[in-house]
Structure 1
C-alpha cells in the first residue's frame, strides 16, 4: 500500500507480528526508536540519525555481522557492553559498594538509633541506593548540580507507560515535568563536565575515568556523538537518560 507517496506495510496476525519483531534488526530499531522518541524526548532528527543505515561509525569500530542493527545502534551497543562487562563492571561494582557504604553510614549517623531503622524503604532506595549508583557511574557532578534528580528520575521511570502510550501532557503534567527535569539535569551535568575536563590537566585513574564525567564511557560517547558527529546536546542527554533507565 502507498500512503502519501510512501510505502506502508500492514502486518496482521499475532504469529506474523511476533516473527517480524523477532528479527534483531527490526525489533531493535522499532523499540529503540519508540523508546528514545516517546519516553526520553529525543528529537525526530536524532532518532532518525540513530536508525539510519547511512551513518558512519568511528573508524576503530569493527561492526559484527551478528549485530543486525543500524550502524550507530550497533556501535553504541558494543560500547555499552564493554562498559558493563569484565573489568568495567568490576570497577563499577566496587565504586557502587563504596558509595553505598558511605551513604548508609551517613544515614546511620543521622539516626537516633544504634541500628539502621528504615521507616520508608522506597524513600531510602530512591535517595540513597540510587544516588550511590549514579555517583558510581557519573561521578559527583550530576547530583551535586541537580540535588532533586533521584526523585524526578523515579517519577520518570514510573511514568514509562504514560510516555509509551503518548498520553497528552495536560492530564500527565507531573510525568512530563519530571522528564523535562531529568533531561535538563543530564544536559547541565554533561555541559559542565565538557567545559571543565581538560585532556592535558584533568587527573585520570588507571581506567581513564575522571572526576567530572565519572566514567570515560560518558566522556567518550559525548565526544563522539556531539563533537564528532554533530548530535544536539539535548538529544545526547535524552540518549544517556535512556541508558540510565536501563
Structure 2
C-alpha cells in the first residue's frame, strides 16, 4: 500500500469542492490568450474587409460584384443593426462618399444585395429574367400571415416565374404556379377591366358612409384622424374588393384588421408568441373571420349575383376574390387555412398603405389654407357643380396639383423594401453584376430622401418636408419639377410641348420615386390607390371643413420598410359639413 501523502487535501464526497473555480483561475491566462487571438483575428478580418470595400468602390472600369459591407463577425454580419435599427443601417450601408451606392451585406449567414444607386436600379427594373423572391414570399407568408408549412412547400417548389410562359427548365404543374396566378389575378383586377368598377364601388360606398356620419354644419370634435380614416375610408375600400358580406357577418373585422396592421413590425421581427402574444392573436382573429366568411359566401353565392359592372358581387365582392378561391384551392397542399393567410396578405396590402397615405394627403391640404383654396378652386374649374359620383375617377388624375399632392405624400412617408431574385442566370447591372441565385433588396426610403436629386428650390423646401408642388412642372419655369436641374434626364420629352399648361409626371423617376416598387415587382394596386386618394381629396374638400388642432406630426421608424409609419400621438381635429 502507498502511504497517504499528508500534504494532499482530504476529499469529502458530500462536501462542495472549489475545484472548478480553482481550475478557472489557474487557466485564466490561457483563456485570455485564446480570447486575444480570436479578437485579433476578427479585427484583422475586419481590416481586410474595410480595405476591400474601399478598393471595390474606387474601381470603376470593370464590371464587378458590389462591395461587401464590412462587419466584425463574419457569419453574424450585420444582423443586429439590420433587424433592430433598419432605417439607420440601410442609410449608412447604401451611402458612399455622400452618394447612394450598392453593397452586399451578410445577415446571419444570408447574403443580400442592397441596390440603391440610380443607374443600377434603373437597369434592374428593365430585366425580364428576374423573378419573385420565393424564399422571401415564404418567410412573409409564414411569419406575417401565419401560413402553414404544407402550403409553403408549394411556394418553395414554384420556380416557374410570374409570367404566362414558365421559365425554361421549370417543371412545375400548371395548378401549382402560385406565383403566376397570384400576379395574374392582381393584374386583371387592378390594371385591367376591373379597375373602373372597383373604383366606382369605392366611391359610392365612401360617399354613402360620409353621408351617414353624425356631422352637421356645426363643428364636431374628433379625437384621432387616423382612427377616423381607418373606420370610414378603410371600410369603404375593403368593401369595394371583398364585398359587403365580409363586414356584415364580422362586425369587428375592420377594427381587427387595423390591430393586425399595428402588430406587423412585431411579426416582421419574428417575435415569438411567449414574448408578445398579442400580434399572433390579432392575426388569428382576422384569419378566423375570413374562414367564417368563406363558408357564408359559398352557401349564398351564385353567378346570378354578379353586379351589372361584371366584376362585383355581394358575397365574394369581386372577380379577384372569386379567382383566388378557384385557383388557390386547386394547388397542392392548399386549404381554407392557407387561403386565409393569402387573403390576409391581400387585405393588408389593400388598406395598409392606401388609407394612411390618403389620410396624410387630406391632412396636409387642410393644414394649409392656401393649398386648400387652390384645391377647391381647381376642382371648381374642372368639374363645376357636377355631382362627385358622376365624375370619372380617371378625370381626377388629370389634375396636376392633386396628383402632385399624392406623389409627394408617397415620397415623404412611404418606405417599402422590394426583393427580387435571379434564379436562372447572372444579371448585368452596368457597373455591378448579380450572380445566379442572388437576392437583391431595393429600399425606397433611401432614394426618396436623396437631397442631391430632388428639387428643393435651393433649400426652400427640404426633402424631409411636404411641398405640394414638388411634382408639378410649370411652363416657362425651368426651376419647377421634381428633379434638380443638374440631375435631370435631358432625353425626356417636354411636358409642355402640347398645351403649355402645368403638368404632372413621374416619367424618368423610376429609379428614384418607387413607393410601389418597380419593374416586374411593381404593385399592381397603384392605379386603384391613386383613385382612392384623389377621390377622397375631392370629397373631403368639397363636402367638409376640417381644422387640425395644433400639434407636431411625429412618425417613428419602427415600421421602416413596411409602408407608412403610424403617428406616435393622436391627431385631434374638428369637422363640419360645408354650407
Q: TM-score range by the shorter chain?
A: 0.7 to 0.9
**Residue 92 in 1 paired to residue 198 in 2?**
yes
Q: Is 1:62 paired with 2:164? A: yes
Matched residue pairs, number?
Answer: 229
The residue aligned with 1:18 is 112
Mark the CA change 1:116 to 1:82 in structure 2 (over 3 Å): closer, same or farther.
farther
Question: Which of 128, 135, 148 is residue 252 of structure 2 equivalent to?
Answer: 148
Kindly indicate which of the two structures has a greater share of residues assigned to strand.
2
Which aligned pairs between 1:220-231 and structure 2 lie closer than 5 A? 220-226=323-329, 231=334
- Cα deviation, 1:102-122, whole Å, max 9, x if unaligned, reads 111111xx2355466543211
Q: CA deviation at 1:87?
A: 2.7
Structure 2, unmatched stretches of 5+, are: 1-74, 79-102, 106-110, 116-123, 350-579
The verdict on how the C-alpha distance between 1:104 and 1:204 changes in structure 2, with shifts beyond 3 A counting, is closer
Change (3 A) 1:113 1:76: same
Q: TM (normalized to structure 2)?
A: 0.36
Pair 1:155–1:235, CA change in 2 (3 A): same
Equivalent runs, 1:79-158 vs 2, <5 Å: 79-107=185-213, 110-111=214-215, 113-114=217-218, 118-158=222-262
Segment drifting more, 204-213 vs 123-132? 204-213
Contact 1:183 1:237 in 2 (8 A): yes
Q: Residues 245 and 140 (structure 1 numbering): CA distance in 2 closer, same or farther, change over 3 Å? A: same
Unaligned residue ranges in structure 1 (runs of 5+): 1-9
TM-score (norm. length: structure 1): 0.80
CA–CA distance in structure 1, aligned partners of residues 166 and 308 of structure 2? 30
Structure with greater helix percent: 1
Would the aligned equivalents of 2:141 and 2:147 in 1 still touch at CA under 8 Å?
A: yes
**2:151 touches 2:333 (CA, 8 Å); kept in 1?**
no
Q: Distance in 1 between matches of 2:227 and 2:309?
A: 35
Matched, 1:183 2:277: no
Name segments (4+ residues, structure 1) moved above 4 Å. Answer: 10-14, 20-23, 227-230
RMSD (CA atoms): 3.3
Q: What displacement does 1:202 show?
A: 3.2
Residue 158 of structure 2, aligned match among 44, 49, 53: 53
* Whole-angstrom CA distance in 2 between matches of 1:20 and 1:63: 29
> Closer, same or farther in 2 for the Cα pair 1:126/1:208, shift >3 Å?
closer
C-alpha contact (below 8 Å) 1:51/1:73 kept by paired residues: no
* Cα deviation code 1:84-128 (max 9, x no counterpart): 113322221111111111111111xx2355466543211111211
Residue 140 of structure 2 aligns to a residue in which SS? helix
Deviation for aligned residue 1:62: 3.0
Relative distance call for 1:34 and 1:209 in structure 2 (3 A) is same
3-state secondary structure, aligned to 1:209: coil
